[in-house]
């Protein structure tokens, strides 16, 4: 490599190293990050973030120069060391110290620019007050349908048709399944002509009775035979109607327990269905707090992301001897996303207390820390707090603030500790 090119490379290498070290020390000791340092502070018109960007790019440039120097000047470096040219290294070191020192001695300015801590920020504040709060105990619960039916057949026979599948919506009276009941149809065919003959005999006996040819007892016997024949036909028709299994209400099929070719017998379930439009929440409430609940009372319910209000419709009169709980059923309003079998929680009120609550917009979260800004005269003071449960658009404050203090509720995220504020009314 030619000497002029080597000297230029060395010069750039020294200068980039000094600039990298100087900007790093400048950010570490003059533009210190923290609650106030580095916020609104400028050196030569640049803030900490701009000096940090310069430091990053100089570091990349320095790394590239090091690689180039090692690749192109390794032989020259060995030769310089052998000839004792240490003065060049000393001169480079002195130049680096001069550059670093000059950067550290540059004046630091505090600007009143946009977003600086000395700029007055327009805010709204709210006086913190103790508000009544009903302490509650959450009880786990399950969403179940109000209408659920296990449908079977009243007669025996082989299933000829199964017309539904799980998940299918049906209307009341829709045909679900049909049985092969040829024996019952044969009984109907036998009973029909017997009834017709009995009715003919009854009409003939009635005519003979008016002519006083037969006695009253003979007419009554013919009338009894006719009634028995009619009843036999009605019985056969009813049994034949049971061969068609229909839906008792509007709903959806949840399970299919039999299929075509299976033998249906009285009492054997064929399908299960429920009404998804009418749901309720069933909770096992401990006996120690069940007296806090009454029929018709409204309780807070949380199912997934839904915050609802359920109405108590049933309270079991007897407790489960194993779990010491009583079954409580609550009617649920219609809400999107509700399905049977979902997990839920019921808030059972146990006591009434007073808590401090602030609007959710007043709480700032940075990592695991939760903070609010309290008005201190014309300045905002940062206060670390511990929050509790959210209640509507407010958040419970467990610790960190006191009653009567004014909390910033608007533009809180744009504030820094000690920044002047102007309260808007």
- What is the predicted pLDDT for the residue at 79? 63
Tell whether 309 and 324 lie within a shared domain.
yes
Structure tokens that stand for 117 in this block: 């801590």
Q: How far is CA 288 from its chain centroid?
A: 30
In this predicted structure, the answer to whether residue 1 has a pLDDT above a threshold of 70 is no
**8 Å CB contact between 153 and 271:** no
| Mean pLDDT for the stretch of residues 154-164 | 90
Q: Could you tell me what percent of the chain has a pLDDT over 70?
A: 83
Model pTM score: 0.52
Angle between helices 86-104 and 3-29 (to 10 degrees): 30
In this predicted structure, the answer to whether residue 34 has a pLDDT above a threshold of 60 is no
Structure tokens that stand for 79 in this block: 């030769």
Q: Which of 265, 301, 266 is nearest to 282 (CA)?
A: 301
Into how many domains does the chain fold? 4
| 207 SS3 class | helix
State the CB neighbour count (10 A cutoff) for residue 4: 8
Tell whether 293 and 239 lie within a shared domain.
no
Q: Which of 258, 273, 288 is the last residue of a domain?
A: 273
* Angle value at C-alpha 324, between 323 and 325, nearest 5 degrees: 90
Tell whether 153 and 232 lie within a shared domain.
yes
State the CB neighbour count (10 A cutoff) for residue 207: 11
pLDDT class for 378, splitting at 50, 70, 90?
confident
Q: Which of 409, 294, 396 is nearest to 361 (CA)?
A: 409
**8 Å CB contact between 233 and 188:** yes
Among 19-23, 28-32, 177-181, where is mean pLDDT lowest? 28-32
Tell whether 126 and 170 lie within a shared domain.
no
- The span from the CA of 184 to the CA of 143, in Å, is 42
- What is the predicted pLDDT for the residue at 91? 59
- The span from the CA of 137 to the CA of 299, in Å, is 11
- Inside any domain, residue 239: yes
Tell whether 365 and 344 lie within a shared domain.
no
| Mean pLDDT for the stretch of residues 192-203 | 90
Tell whether 170 and 269 lie within a shared domain.
yes
- What is the predicted pLDDT for the residue at 111? 47
- What is the predicted pLDDT for the residue at 312? 93
Q: Across the strands, what pairs with 351?
A: 135
- Compute CA distances 288 → 82, 270, 376, whole Å: 92, 41, 47
| 183 SS3 class | helix
Instruction: Identify the residue whose tokens are 């049994």.
Output: 239
Tell whether 295 and 181 lie within a shared domain.
no
Tell whether 336 and 260 lie within a shared domain.
no
Tell whether 327 and 379 lie within a shared domain.
no
How many residues would you count in the chain? 425
Q: Which of 304, 327, 350 is the last residue of a domain?
A: 350
CATH number for the domain harbouring residue 397? 2.40.420.20
- Inside any domain, residue 115: no
- The span from the CA of 14 to the CA of 65, in Å, is 10
In this predicted structure, the answer to whether residue 235 has a pLDDT above a threshold of 70 is yes
In this predicted structure, the answer to whether residue 11 has a pLDDT above a threshold of 90 is no
- Inside any domain, residue 418: yes
- Inside any domain, residue 157: yes
Tell whether 261 and 319 lie within a shared domain.
no
- Inside any domain, residue 339: yes
- The span from the CA of 205 to the CA of 200, in Å, is 9
Kindly report, residue by residue over 65-110, the tens digit of the pLDDT: 777 766 665 565 556 655 555 556 455 545 655 655 555 555 555 4
Q: Which of 200, 204, 206, 189 is nearest to 226 (CA)?
A: 200
In this predicted structure, the answer to whether residue 412 has a pLDDT above a threshold of 60 is yes
Tell whether 260 and 326 lie within a shared domain.
no
Q: Which of 282, 253, 416 is nearest to 344 (CA)?
A: 282
CATH number for the domain harbouring residue 302? 2.40.30.170
- What is the predicted pLDDT for the residue at 414? 83
- The span from the CA of 37 to the CA of 48, in Å, is 9
Cα-only R_g, the chain? 45
In this predicted structure, the answer to whether residue 172 has a pLDDT above a threshold of 70 is yes
Among 5-19, 100-114, 279-293, where is mean pLDDT lowest? 100-114
- Compute CA distances 230 → 58, 226, 242, whole Å: 107, 6, 19
Kindly report, residue by residue over 289-320, the tens digit of the pLDDT: 888 889 999 998 999 888 889 999 999 999 98
- Inside any domain, residue 283: yes
Q: Which of 350, 375, 410 is the last residue of a domain?
A: 350
> The domain containing residue 291 runs over which residues?
138-145+275-350
- The span from the CA of 311 to the CA of 301, in Å, is 10
CATH number for the domain harbouring residue 238? 2.40.50.100
- Inside any domain, residue 374: yes
Structure tokens that stand for 181 in this block: 């009941």
Tell whether 371 and 417 lie within a shared domain.
yes
pLDDT class for 355, splitting at 50, 70, 90?
confident
Mean pLDDT of the chain: 82
| Mean pLDDT for the stretch of residues 142-157 | 90
- The span from the CA of 164 to the CA of 177, in Å, is 8
- The span from the CA of 93 to the CA of 72, in Å, is 22
- Inside any domain, residue 116: no
């Amino acid at each position: 490599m030619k000497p002029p090119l080597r000297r230029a490379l060395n010069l750039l290498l020294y200068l980039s190293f000094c600039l990298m070290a100087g900007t790093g020390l400048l950010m570490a000791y003059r533009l210190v990050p923290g609650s106030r340092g580095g916020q609104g502070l400028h050196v030569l018109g640049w803030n900490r973030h701009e000096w940090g960007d310069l430091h990053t790019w100089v570091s990349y440039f320095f790394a590239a120069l090091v690689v180039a120097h090692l690749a192109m000047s390794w032989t020259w470096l060995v030769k310089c060391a052998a000839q004792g040219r240490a003065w060049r290294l000393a001169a480079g070191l002195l130049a680096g110290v001069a550059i670093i020192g000059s950067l550290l001695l540059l004046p630091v300015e505090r600007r009143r620019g946009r977003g600086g801590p000395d700029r007055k920020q327009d805010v709204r504040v709210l006086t913190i007050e103790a508000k009544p709060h009903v302490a509650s105990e959450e009880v786990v619960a399950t969403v179940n349908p109000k209408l659920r039916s296990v449908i079977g057949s009243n007669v025996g026979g082989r299933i000829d048709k199964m017309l539904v599948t799980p998940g299918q919506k049906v209307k009341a009276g829709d045909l679900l399944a049909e049985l092969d009941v040829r024996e019952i149809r044969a009984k109907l065919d036998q009973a029909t002509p017997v009834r017709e003959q009995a009715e003919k005999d009854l009409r003939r006996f009635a005519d003979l009775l008016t002519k006083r040819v037969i006695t009253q007892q003979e007419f009554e016997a013919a009338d009894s035979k006719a009634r028995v024949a009619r009843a036999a036909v009605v019985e056969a028709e009813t049994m034949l109607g049971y061969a068609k299994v229909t839906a008792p209400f509007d709903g959806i099929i949840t399970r299919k327990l039999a299929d075509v070719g299976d033998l249906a017998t009285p009492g054997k379930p064929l399908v299960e269905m429920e009404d998804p439009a009418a749901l309720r929440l069933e909770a096992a409430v401990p006996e120690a707090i069940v007296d806090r609940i009454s029929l018709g009372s409204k309780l807070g319910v949380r199912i997934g992301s839904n915050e609802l209000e359920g109405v108590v419709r049933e309270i079991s009169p007897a407790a489960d001897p194993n779990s010491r709980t009583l079954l409580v059923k609550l009617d649920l309003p219609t809400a999107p996303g509700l399905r049977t079998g979902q997990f839920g929680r019921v808030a059972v009120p146990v006591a009434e207390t007073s808590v401090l609550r602030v609007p959710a917009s007043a709480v700032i979260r940075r990592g695991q820390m939760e903070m609010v800004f309290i008005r201190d005269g014309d300045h905002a003071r940062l206060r670390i707090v511990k929050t509790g449960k959210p209640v509507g658009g407010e958040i419970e404050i467990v610790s960190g603030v006191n009653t009567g203090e004014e909390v910033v509720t608007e533009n809180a995220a744009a504030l820094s500790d000690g920044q002047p504020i102007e309260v808007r009314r």
